[in-house]
Structure 1
Amino acid sequence: MTVSNLASIKKVMAELLAGKITSDKSDEELLSWLSDSKVEKAQLPVKIQTYLDELQEMDSDGNERLKLKIKTLKNLPYGVIAKYNQNILEIEEALNKSHYGMDSAKSVILETLQAAKYRGEVKLPFMCLYGAPGVGKTTFLKAIASALTVPIYFINMTGKSPSNIIGTDFVYKNADVGYIVRGLLESKCMNPIFVFDEVDKLASDDRYGSTSDTLLGICDSSQNNVFRDLFLDVELDISQATFLFTANSIQKIPEALRSRLTMVEIKDYSLFEKFTISKRHILPNKIKEFHLSEMLEISDEAINYLVESLQINEVGEKEGGIREVAKALERMLIKAAAELERNHLNHLLITKEWVIDRLGVSKLEEFRKQINDSFKVKPLKVGRIGTVHSLGVFSEIAGKVGDITCRIIPNGSGAIEFTGQMLDEPQDAAKTAYNFIRANYRCFGIEPHLLSCSDFVIHSHNAAIKKDGASAGVVYVIAMLSEILRRPVSDEVAMSGAVELDGSITPIGGVNFKVEACIQNELKKIYLSKQNQKDVPQEYFKSIDITLVDNLFELISLVFDNFDWHCSLCGEKLFKHQSKTANISWLHPNQSKCTYKHHYQDANGYPQEINEIK
């Protein structure tokens, strides 16, 4: 409202206010008066205005709580509704600009907003973003609010009680409003985005009511239009506000509350994503902040070293998110700025060696060295019967080489026993391997009574450590066949792969760590599933012989030289025949001995398919 417009409304205002302000007021006086809370009072809902009149009739001298109550009631933004941006393409562009990756979470947000738009709504439903600390949940929510052009208000839920949310009863000496009212006051509208941050850390002490139950009421669309703050003791309509949540662990969110929320996982960034974010976003911003744009050159190797080193924290636990990476990059720039200043340099090249020299060897390097020393394997270049190198991953940050040993106990009943703290998954994988051998005993030339009249013990070395996962399936098969057939396996060979009953070898995780462990332990060969080919960095093929296999029959032919294959029907030993056209067949010494499907066609050096000769 401008001063030139005021003359035309003075008379109307004077009539409306029944003489409380007269038309002889100066323009400046009227402007001052219009900014007073009395005009806001005229905009109050009828019930609020009536209640406020009653409060103002009370003696407020010296009563700070009453003054606070009146002031809060006057200043609440009744009827003020922020306009949400509903342009989905603009929102998507803004989120992609502010956050690299997070494709799954972005899709959920954008699709939900699009659906809400068709329903005639603008706000998001009750939603919880969960994931490891530092993965960007908070900054992502801020980016959402910015894209929607709506205020956002965070409430840290760590140890909070119901009174923190809905206020304290006016009768108490230190009574005050709750965070919901504070958020409305700060946002200056009735439909901001409220974020209940770290809702998995709610106060466990419910002597004064359950915080979870309070949040349930807020998340109930049939109740939040009559929200009551205990301090103000009036009903407020907060139904147009958006209520979002964050958590590190969804298991710790009370089940009743969790069932009300749409859960959206914010997955941890991969190493490549962290490298990209560091190079494209964090470093340019930090370098600009330090005014070092023309003075620094940072190699990709240096960035990658820092990113990789932050996979674990100071106590050796896996570290998620990008927060610690940002801190490390800032420390690096502080060191660089000090060096430029101290040595009067105009340019500085930061390499991996510079980072190690100035910041020290990373905890990750030290931790990996400890793991490697603890699980050190020294190949003796000998063959071992019943014992095979297995591969594992420690805390998802380092590979390790172990051993699996199989032994036959005579005078048994075909039972299988596990030792060395093997948990359910490895036990199940070993049983699958054992049943594969039993199902194909004729192919391997095994006497049936050996399986039915003996017990088998599968032992995982380093018995003090619990073993989990199914990736040692191939190891169990080879170790058992080695023990049964008395065929040695080179101690320079390791393998990893899950197995199916039909002999398929399926992919496993942590391939890069496992291959690194083999190289560090000076092994010569590693067998992996062919389905893991994309997971093996090409540079590793130069350091160790990596053989990718499809199934157990192929693996057996490669591990055991000149393996004796037998007919799966009659058990007779087969001999390998190569024709003039280089086609390989596996044949019976006496073709008349087995008349059904006795011709084995081979493409990879083992009996792969059985075809009937007509």
Structure 2
Amino acid sequence: MEEVTKVLPAIALRGTTILPDMIVHFDISRPKSVRAVEEAMLGNQKIFLITQKDPDTEVPGLLDVYKIGTIAVIKQVVKMPKDVLRILVEAERRAELLNFEEEESEYLRAEVALFTGSDEMQFSDIEQEAILRNLKELFAVYCEQTQKVSKELAGQILGTEEVGKLVDQICMNLPLDYVNRQKLLEAVELSERYDTLCVMIANEIQIQEIRSEIQGKIKERIDKNQRDYILREQLKVIREELGEDNSRTEIENYKKQLEKLKASKEVKERISEEIHRLENSASNPSEAGVIRGYIETLLGLPWDKASRDNQDLARAREILEEDHYGLSKVKERILEFLAVRTLTKKGESPILCLAGPPGTGKTSIARSVARALNKKYVRICLGGVRDEAEIRGHRRTYIGAMPGRIAAGLHQAKVKNPLMLLDEIDKVSADYKGDTSSALLEVLDSEQNNKFADHYVELPIDLSEVLFIATANDIQNIPRPLLDRMEVIEISSYTENEKFHIAKEHLVPKQKKANGLKEAQLVIEDEALMEVISGYTREAGVRSLERQIGRICRKSARKILEEQVKEVVVTKENLEEFLGKERYEFQPANEKPEIGIVRGLAWTAVGGDTLQIEVNVMPGKGEFLLTGQLGDVMKESAQAGISFIRSVAEQYEIPKEFFEKHDIHIHIPEGAVPKDGPSAGITMATAMVSAITKVPVKADVAMTGEITLRGRVLPIGGLKEKLLAAKKAGIHMVLVPEKNEPDVRELDAEITDGLQIEFVGSMEQVLKLALVEKK
């Protein structure tokens, strides 16, 4: 392709590129551009149009414009207001800018190189057909998607059958920005222009597809929101017409409740703010639902609303005695609290912890105390709770947030001074969501709980007037800081006499009513009731006893209906018909003194029991055997016992070489039952001394206590249960550590009657009392 050089007036275009064969008009106002047009009109009306790289450049130089421009013929010039010229030009051909002449003229004079000769490649027929088809398909898809080219023009362009002409027609009529048009202008060769054009059309199609997809999603969302809004507005108008504008009525109700609410200024201001927020959130139902739940929680809490406590001590005592047999310590503490509250008008509420075995009535005591004090009763079960938010509540930023159990309990009680039972406080646990027992520290601290912080409520709640009663089976499982905040009241096992009275006065009437029996239809004789207690149950409380009584009632109900009898009498003799054979047998005291057999006393979770400890001495090599599934503590007690015996061997006439030539075997029957605890030391030591010295142990003696290496007797726990077990087994003398004497004094005469309790401080005293004296 040959080049011919020319010098022409030039105009630097801003933000537009003109392609060959285009007829277009544009406005100019720069003096140099106006002067260039005038100069062209004086000559052959030809002008060189070149595009600026940056439209904001006022005086463009050679480096400020693109290299390829267009030679055009000026067809028309129209003067516009404010020194603006509107010119109509017809672009003819491409030309390359070589230089701007350096003459001091009033317009741009451009030295350009013309492209002469054919600018089309010679395509074969097959190539030409392929290019035509591909270009037409792309352009057709573009026109269909963008709607930027009219159907008439698109049809006219698609009817072109020459490659060069089709490419130029599409280039001219494609609505592109000046940068992309410049790229097409700079593609001098037809093949290069075709490739550039195809890429541009494909990009535009892809961009349009993405835009359409995004617009479709946006339109779908807008349509849904618009639909919801229209329906909501229609529903609002319909309700207003019917006089059922719920949202307005709801807000008015909240405002009326706020006026009646007894609360501090801070609380009322917060609720008022939330009601105002609810009024302004009609267009957002999800947010309105969250605010509504929060307002109802705040309005439902008893901020300054309290119930009046019962101040009649006699009436309170009467209710406690009516509901429960025994439990004197609990009753005394509650009456003390009531007396202080009556005198001071606002005594500090105690935080009590009722600790004892299952079935001893801890939960029902709390209910009776609430009735005696005329307080609202709220029970919160903490068994298995491991999430701190269960106590402190969830923060309102979470979906499904709600207040903690303490705040919910107050909401349920409707007063700020209820009795709140924290049931099974020893069974709370911790995990990655927080430590529940740590969250309870603030609740159960009288110095802090007047401003308890619930994460959901976000306002301080006063718990100082709440009477907290906690229950626990084992206080060893309660963390020390939490236990320190509570006043522990031990509820020990019931005696058989207490169980008899509880059954007769409470359980039998309750089960008769539960099973539809009238008072006269079932009679359970006292002897039969005692037999149920001793032969069919073995527990510290009375739950199993109540189940057995319920079983008798059910069988009696069936008998009344099937056999048409008016009255069923349960006696000791016919009890087996109702409950089957006896399940438990208590091992009675030995009939005569025996060598190496001693009766020990043990505490279990279901009450006291007796342990028969047996020792055998055999010729051997000095081995020491322990069997009966013993725990580490009992094994150590046995080791301490044998060490003590060896240290005092001379005193009991035991030969020096005895322990080297004999094996000692200690066995506690019921090998399937695990046994452990620090209370069998003196029992095992006594059995070993008896077996070694061949001196029998008295048959009616039982003992409990730990032993040291020097033969001192250490105190133990669970004394009440152990003495009850001894009494039931027919034991007459019980050896108890002397340091447990204060515990024995606190026991009722009902427990100690018939027992000769001897206090011992050393093994010497134990052996003196337990072994049969030599004649």
Given the two structures, how large is their TM-score scaled by the length of structure 1? 0.65
Within the candidate set 426, 432, 435, 1:200 is matched to 426
- Report the counterpart of residue 356 of structure 1 in structure 2: 576
- Report the counterpart of residue 405 of structure 1 in structure 2: 616
- Report the counterpart of residue 599 of structure 2 in structure 1: 391
Counterpart Cα distance in 2 of 1:109 and 1:536: 27
The 3 A distance-change label for structure 1 pair 355 and 397 is farther
In the alignment, residue 315 of structure 2 is paired with which amino acid?
Answer: E
- Report the counterpart of residue 605 of structure 1 in structure 2: none
Kept in 2: contact 1:436–1:503 (CA 8 A): no
Q: How does 1:92-241 map to 2 (within 5 A)?
A: 92-115=317-340, 120-160=345-385, 161-205=387-431, 207-241=432-466
Counterpart Cα distance in 2 of 1:264 and 1:503: 30
Counterpart Cα distance in 2 of 1:168 and 1:217: 17
Counterpart Cα distance in 2 of 1:436 and 1:536: 34
Question: How many angstroms does 1:460 deviate by?
Answer: 1.4
Corresponding residue SS for 1:111: helix
Within the candidate set 50, 57, 61, 2:269 is matched to 50
1:111-138, CA deviations, whole angstroms, 9 ceiling, x for partnerless residues?
Answer: 3444555555345312211111211111
Corresponding residue SS for 1:283: helix
In the alignment, residue 352 of structure 1 is paired with which amino acid?
Answer: K
Kept in 2: contact 1:402–1:461 (CA 8 A): yes
Corresponding residue SS for 2:683: coil
Question: How many angstroms does 1:407 deviate by?
Answer: 6.0
Counterpart Cα distance in 1 of 2:458 and 2:769: 77
- Report the counterpart of residue 40 of structure 1 in structure 2: 257
Kept in 2: contact 1:132–1:321 (CA 8 A): yes
- Report the counterpart of residue 277 of structure 1 in structure 2: 502
In the alignment, residue 471 of structure 1 is paired with which amino acid?
Answer: T
In the alignment, residue 522 of structure 2 is paired with which amino acid?
Answer: L
Kept in 2: contact 1:86–1:117 (CA 8 A): yes
Counterpart Cα distance in 1 of 2:363 and 2:722: 30
The 3 A distance-change label for structure 1 pair 407 and 451 is farther
Corresponding residue SS for 1:471: helix
Within the candidate set 463, 471, 481, 1:246 is matched to 471
- Report the counterpart of residue 261 of structure 1 in structure 2: 486
In the alignment, residue 391 of structure 2 is paired with which amino acid?
Answer: I
Corresponding residue SS for 1:196: strand
In the alignment, residue 54 of structure 1 is paired with which amino acid?
Answer: E
Kept in 2: contact 1:274–1:307 (CA 8 A): yes
Question: How many angstroms does 1:102 deviate by?
Answer: 0.9
Counterpart Cα distance in 2 of 1:49 and 1:489: 82
Counterpart Cα distance in 1 of 2:419 and 2:769: 59
- Report the counterpart of residue 587 of structure 1 in structure 2: none
Question: How many angstroms does 1:337 deviate by?
Answer: 0.9
- Report the counterpart of residue 423 of structure 1 in structure 2: 635
- For the pair 1:320 / 2:540, whether they are aligned, the reply is yes
The 3 A distance-change label for structure 1 pair 49 and 436 is same
Counterpart Cα distance in 1 of 2:699 and 2:445: 61
- More helix by percentage: 2
Kept in 1: contact 2:495–2:751 (CA 8 A): no
The 3 A distance-change label for structure 1 pair 247 and 514 is closer
Corresponding residue SS for 2:421: strand
The 3 A distance-change label for structure 1 pair 302 and 238 is same
Question: How many angstroms does 1:335 deviate by?
Answer: 0.7
Counterpart Cα distance in 1 of 2:732 and 2:447: 61
- Report the counterpart of residue 480 of structure 1 in structure 2: 692
Corresponding residue SS for 2:566: coil
The 3 A distance-change label for structure 1 pair 210 and 502 is closer
1:490-541, CA deviations, whole angstroms, 9 ceiling, x for partnerless residues?
Answer: 9x9786446999999x9998688679989xxxxxxx9956999998998xxx
Counterpart Cα distance in 1 of 2:268 and 2:390: 26
Larger radius of gyration: 2
1:189-209, CA deviations, whole angstroms, 9 ceiling, x for partnerless residues?
Answer: 11112222111111321x233
Counterpart Cα distance in 1 of 2:495 and 2:422: 27
Kept in 1: contact 2:403–2:454 (CA 8 A): yes
Counterpart Cα distance in 2 of 1:353 and 1:423: 45
Kept in 2: contact 1:390–1:494 (CA 8 A): no
Corresponding residue SS for 1:363: coil
Kept in 1: contact 2:702–2:735 (CA 8 A): no
Question: How many angstroms does 1:74 deviate by?
Answer: 2.3
The 3 A distance-change label for structure 1 pair 438 and 535 is farther
Counterpart Cα distance in 2 of 1:320 and 1:555: 29
In the alignment, residue 179 of structure 1 is paired with which amino acid?
Answer: R
Counterpart Cα distance in 2 of 1:196 and 1:356: 40
The 3 A distance-change label for structure 1 pair 235 and 60 is farther
The 3 A distance-change label for structure 1 pair 299 and 390 is same
Counterpart Cα distance in 1 of 2:542 and 2:372: 22
Kept in 2: contact 1:388–1:494 (CA 8 A): no
Question: How many angstroms does 1:429 deviate by?
Answer: 5.1
1:227-253, CA deviations, whole angstroms, 9 ceiling, x for partnerless residues?
Answer: 233223223333222222111111111
The 3 A distance-change label for structure 1 pair 197 and 124 is same
CA RMSD of aligned residues (A): 4.5
Question: How many angstroms does 1:423 deviate by?
Answer: 2.7
Corresponding residue SS for 1:128: strand
- Report the counterpart of residue 345 of structure 1 in structure 2: 565
Question: How many angstroms does 1:344 deviate by?
Answer: 0.5
- Report the counterpart of residue 471 of structure 1 in structure 2: 683
- Report the counterpart of residue 12 of structure 1 in structure 2: none
- Report the counterpart of residue 526 of structure 2 in structure 1: 300
Corresponding residue SS for 2:320: helix
Counterpart Cα distance in 2 of 1:82 and 1:356: 51
The 3 A distance-change label for structure 1 pair 419 and 203 is closer
In the alignment, residue 258 of structure 2 is paired with which amino acid?
Answer: K
Counterpart Cα distance in 2 of 1:334 and 1:453: 63
Counterpart Cα distance in 1 of 2:703 and 2:507: 38
Corresponding residue SS for 2:434: coil
1:461-498, CA deviations, whole angstroms, 9 ceiling, x for partnerless residues?
Answer: 4696868613355444433322xxxxx869x9786446
The answer to which of 325-334 and 492-501 deviates more is 492-501
1:158-190, CA deviations, whole angstroms, 9 ceiling, x for partnerless residues?
Answer: 233222223222222211222222222221211
Which consecutive unaligned segments of at least 5 residues does structure 1 have? Answer: 1-31, 313-318, 483-487, 519-525, 539-549, 564-614
Which structure has more RCO (C-alpha within 8 Å, separation ≥ 6)? 1
Question: How many angstroms does 1:398 deviate by?
Answer: 6.2
In the alignment, residue 306 of structure 2 is paired with which amino acid?
Answer: I
The 3 A distance-change label for structure 1 pair 299 and 432 is farther
Percent identity over paired residues: 25
1:273-324, CA deviations, whole angstroms, 9 ceiling, x for partnerless residues?
Answer: 1111101221123334523212222122221222234544xxxxxx331122
1:349-378, CA deviations, whole angstroms, 9 ceiling, x for partnerless residues?
Answer: 11234332232224325xx7xx99xxxx9x
The answer to which of 287-296 and 156-165 deviates more is 287-296
Q: How does 1:371-382 map to 2 (within 5 A)?
A: none
